[in-house]
Structure 1
Amino acid sequence: THFNHLFWDTGATRTTVIEHGIVPPRAEWSGDVERLAVVTNEPVRRWRVTGTDLMPRFARVAPLDVFGMGVAGLPDALAATGAPGLPVTGYDDLPQDRMHVEVARRRAYLHLCRWTSLGLSLIEAMSMGMPVIALATTEAVDAVPADAGVLSTRVDTLVEAARWLMTDRDAASRLGARGREVAKERFGLDRFLADWDRLMEEETCGSR
């Protein structure tokens, strides 16, 4: 990502940014389940990196369904920090197709990673037509336009956005529809493969 290009010091090594490309999930957003979806890996071990410490603030507004690897122990881990009884459910390591179907039923996608440059799950959520609530950090601020979700470094702003989208499904639909357009145009697999083909051709020709 351009964020990585900016922050990592590669010295004199030549670098090229090729933005993510994804195979669009077959699932489409319905938003009929008034819960927030989070996709993350090992939120207990990684904690602040994945924004796990922020989850209780959102769970007090809307139930959280957390998908990914190493999420089964999340409710107990949150309870141990003094936040017992929160409506947080972990769905550990579901097959990808099934996960997409379940995530697409949730009202909005919550992205709390502080330092992940740009998670593929965020792009997949946009591709499915989900509205996005995300920390305005790393590459997310450039990948998610203002009319496709709510981004901020103020957690209170994001909590209020969650409250809003739980009660306004039409607004959620509008944001998600715009996100789908952006994901299709910017993060499509055709563009991704074409960028790699062009880079490989340049490098091959340059080495002759």
Structure 2
Amino acid sequence: MRILLWHVHGSWTDAFVRGRHEYLLPVLPDGGPWGLGRAGRDWPDSVREVALDGLDADTIDAVVLQRPEEIDEVTACLGRRPGIDLPAVYLEHNTPKGNFPFTRHPLADRDTIPVVHVTHFNKLAWDTGSAPVLVVEHGIPDPGQLYTGELPELAVVVNEPVRRGRVTGTDLLPAFAAVAPVHVFGMKTEGLAAAAGFEGARLKLRGDLKPRELHRELARCRVYVHPMRWTSLGLSLLEAMHLGMPVVALATTEAPRAVPPEAGAVSTDVGELLRTANRLIANPEEARRRGAAAREAVLARYSLGRFLADWDVLLAELRPRHPGIRQPGGRTSDIRLPENERLEEQILVPARERKNP
């Protein structure tokens, strides 16, 4: 299939484009949120940068939407309406903002475009009305078991912790720094020490590292801390677990599903998390054992192979809702999008466990 999508969420896209399809990413001379293209990423040759207004609309098999405005953009540039005469899904990366739990999704009650959530918590949290709703859980390329834990210190990966503040648990970091120095990786961490009230050398700003360097440096730290209050399941958490790092995490949003207790500690009691972090810093063998449990759990639920297989099922059955719709190559089809229950049943069962009907 030839799939159109914008480069919106780099880490998620990094996994998605490793499938067996051709991926078309709009590019603009100035880049920006509507024209990043590959953005220098080391992605397969099947990922192509394209000028949206120069595409042959009939050659596109499906579009993965990630922002409401993309619906009108595709219609205007290609003359095909997502969900009407162009197969489409809307991928929702985020937890709802605003008046939770009453937050209405932008595609609520729209029956022509299924909403695909990356976590079960997000599906539960958003009000999508009568829109068809699916879950395809994350999967990431396995960086390997690189954990050494040689540094008796803590690690956090977070983007824009100063701006996002309580959302990302920035205010909790000084308490963890009292246990051991905290390495903070990610974008726009400048000013964190003053904003969060860190003292002296307890904070180590590491910046936005390339994936291989990030994995290597993360794996040297003894414990991964996940203090996020209200974010979707961070892929950096899954990366840390793949590396074989033990985890202490707030039991919020999807974290309790992703992190088993044997991997470290998952709790809304910050004191409990601090005590566990302190114990793991002092006991490298326990830390290594719990990190191995984290890796085993993440490979079982969030593998790249399972993720790509689930998306293949969804894409293969995706069709416009209305009969007589033009298909690529001038064909028409009277195939309707399968009922949500049947799609979700197939998507959430690992490929190796599926049986032919």
1:1-208 equivalent positions in 2, closer than 5 A:
1-26=119-144, 28-79=146-197, 83-85=198-200, 87-204=202-319, 206-207=336-337
TM-score (norm 2): 0.56
Equivalents in 1 of 2:242, 2:175: separation in Å? 27
Equivalents in 2 of 1:121, 1:146: separation in Å? 18
The structure with higher relative contact order (CA 8 Å, sep 6+) is: 1
Equivalents in 2 of 1:37, 1:2: separation in Å? 26
Paired residue type of 1:116: T
Residue 24 (structure 1) shift? 1.2
Residue 72 (structure 1) shift? 3.0
CA shift in 2, pair 1:26/1:177, >3 Å: closer
Paired residue type of 1:14: P
Equivalents in 1 of 2:126, 2:238: separation in Å? 22
Mark the structure with the bigger radius of gyration: 2
Equivalents in 2 of 1:75, 1:91: separation in Å? 13
Q: Deviations over 1:123-165 (max 9, x none)?
A: 0100010000000011000111111120110110001011000
Paired residue type of 1:98: E
Equivalents in 1 of 2:201, 2:166: separation in Å? 18
Match of 2:74 in 1: none
Equivalents in 1 of 2:217, 2:167: separation in Å? 24
CA contact (8 A) 1:27 1:100 kept: no
What RMSD, in angstroms, separates the aligned Cα atoms of the two structures? 1.5
Q: Deviations over 1:21-52 (max 9, x none)?
A: 00112461110001100000000111101101
Paired residue type of 1:113: M
Paired residue type of 1:139: E
CA contact (8 A) 2:244 2:295 kept: yes
Residue 289 of structure 2 aligns to a residue whose secondary structure is: helix
Q: Deviations over 1:163-199 (max 9, x none)?
A: 0001011111111101111111111111000000101
Match of 2:32 in 1: none
Residue 60 (structure 1) shift? 0.6
Paired residue type of 1:61: V
CA contact (8 A) 1:21 1:189 kept: yes
Shifted more, 154-163 versus 86-95: the winner is: 86-95
Residue 9 (structure 1) shift? 0.5
Residue 200 (structure 1) shift? 1.2
**Structure 1 gap segments, 5+ residues each:** none
Residue 92 (structure 1) shift? 1.4
Residue 57 of structure 1 aligns to a residue whose secondary structure is: helix
CA contact (8 A) 1:78 1:84 kept: no
TM-score (norm 1): 0.94
Equivalents in 1 of 2:195, 2:213: separation in Å? 25
Equivalents in 2 of 1:70, 1:132: separation in Å? 23
Paired residue type of 2:336: G
Equivalents in 2 of 1:84, 1:7: separation in Å? 37
What's the % identity of the aligned pairs?
Answer: 52
Equivalents in 1 of 2:265, 2:199: separation in Å? 28
Return structure 1 stretches of 4+ with deviation > 3 angstroms.
204-208
Equivalents in 1 of 2:291, 2:264: separation in Å? 7
**Structure 2 gap segments, 5+ residues each:** 1-118, 320-334, 339-357
Equivalents in 2 of 1:133, 1:98: separation in Å? 22
